[in-house]
Amino acid sequence: MKAVLISIQPKWCELIASGKKTVEVRKSNPTLETPFKCYIYETKGKSETPTFVDEEGHIIYDCGGVVIGEFVCDWIDYVRNYGDVVDAYDVNASCLSAAEIINYAKDKNGKFVYTYGWHISELEIYDKPKELSEFKKGCNDMDDPMYGSYCEYCENKCYLKRPPQSWCYVEEI
């Protein structure tokens, strides 16, 4: 099954983990039909908030760079952005201000571009984060018997080495 791995900054991860942020705004969306599984890669940062407690009870101050959890994206919709007015639902659910959304919904030349709100449901934050290297890219040739369980194009047998700029397809684990 194809799934998605999405890179999210620590401050937004905290808001997602606390349940306050239920919509993630992006300029693109996968071609997968909803619902689909989405893994949360927390980008490297300097979090000062304890992220989790390990088996021995040590508090871990996570600096990101790991997959902290997963959710089911049950729907994706356009962010309702009418010129300089943004729908209140999208502002509240994304924890972004209307100005931040308007500013984000622009290309290099300042022209309006559509943005998509990915709705977060069935959130699960792992007790122990997963490493990026545990995830395999969702390559199209992966199931080709000629190549076994990896394709001929990727180094590292399709396992992720670098996080995606925004998001990428991965195999569901």
168 near Zn ion, judged by CB under 5 A: no
Cβ atoms within 10 Å, residue 61 = 12
Which residue among 5, 40, 73, 151 contacts Zn ion (CB under 5 A)?
151
Q: Which two tokens stand for residue 136?
A: 């395999």
- Beta-bridged to residue 97, according to DSSP, are none
By C-beta, is 76 or 142 nearer to Zn ion?
A: 142
Helix-, strand-, coil-residue percentages of the chain, each rounded to 5:
20, 35, 45
**CB distance 119 to 22 below 8 Å:** yes
132 near Zn ion, judged by CB under 5 A: no
Q: How far is CA 36 from CA 2, 65, 94, in A?
A: 8, 23, 19
96 near Zn ion, judged by CB under 5 A: no
Cα 108 off chain centre by:
23
2 near Zn ion, judged by CB under 5 A: no
Which residue among 139, 160, 168, 170 contacts Zn ion (CB under 5 A)?
139
CB of 168 to Zn ion, least distance (A): 11
Cβ atoms within 10 Å, residue 49 = 11
By C-beta, is 105 or 154 nearer to Zn ion?
A: 154
Q: Determine the Cα–Cα distance for residues 165 and 144; give it in Å rounded to an integer.
A: 27
Which residue among 3, 13, 79, 158 contacts Zn ion (CB under 5 A)?
158
By C-beta, is 102 or 168 nearer to Zn ion?
A: 168
By C-beta, is 124 or 152 nearer to Zn ion?
A: 152
CB of 143 to Zn ion, least distance (A): 11
17 near Zn ion, judged by CB under 5 A: no
Identity of residue 11:
K
38 near Zn ion, judged by CB under 5 A: no
Where along the sequence are the contacts to Zn ion (CB under 5 A)?
A: 139, 151, 154, 158
